[in-house]
Amino acid sequence: MSTRTNVQIINGADGVPAFVVIPYADYIASHPREDLVPNEVVGFMVKEGLTAIGAWRKHRGLTQAEVAERIGISQSAYAQQEAATRPRKPTREKVAKALGVHPDLLDL
């Protein structure tokens, strides 16, 4: 007798299992909330070409000047950091704290 499950296994071209699909509700229940990226953030990155830092700032409804003030630098210095495709780890940590997100979420 087989048991019904909500899991779907997708095999690769070689016939070996390559992916597992689970219901979204199960994924959310088992995944840390702080590790999820809102669709709006991804949209800002794709549609407007923003970096992860810029997209999170816009998602939070903040100006560059407001974030710069939170981390104690000028708006122009912050703008340079926001434009960087791969900011240094200390920079990501400061900006992440100012935006209220985990630093890994700024490394997309």
pLDDT digits (tens, 9 = 90+) for 11-67: 999 999 999 998 888 877 777 666 678 999 999 999 999 999 999 999 999 999 999
pTM of the complete model: 0.70
Condensed to tens digits (0 to 9), the pLDDT of residues 76-100 reads 999 999 999 888 999 999 999 999 9
pLDDT bin (cut points 50, 70, 90) of residue 2 is low
Q: What's the CA angle centered on 93, arms 75 and 48, to 5 degrees?
A: 55
Tell me if residue 102 falls in helix, strand or coil.
coil
**Residue ranges of domains in the chain:** 36-106
DSSP one-letter code for 105: G
CATH code of the domain occupying 36-106:
1.10.260.40
Backbone angles phi, psi at 21, to 5 degrees: -110, 130
Contact 81, 87 (CB under 8 A): yes
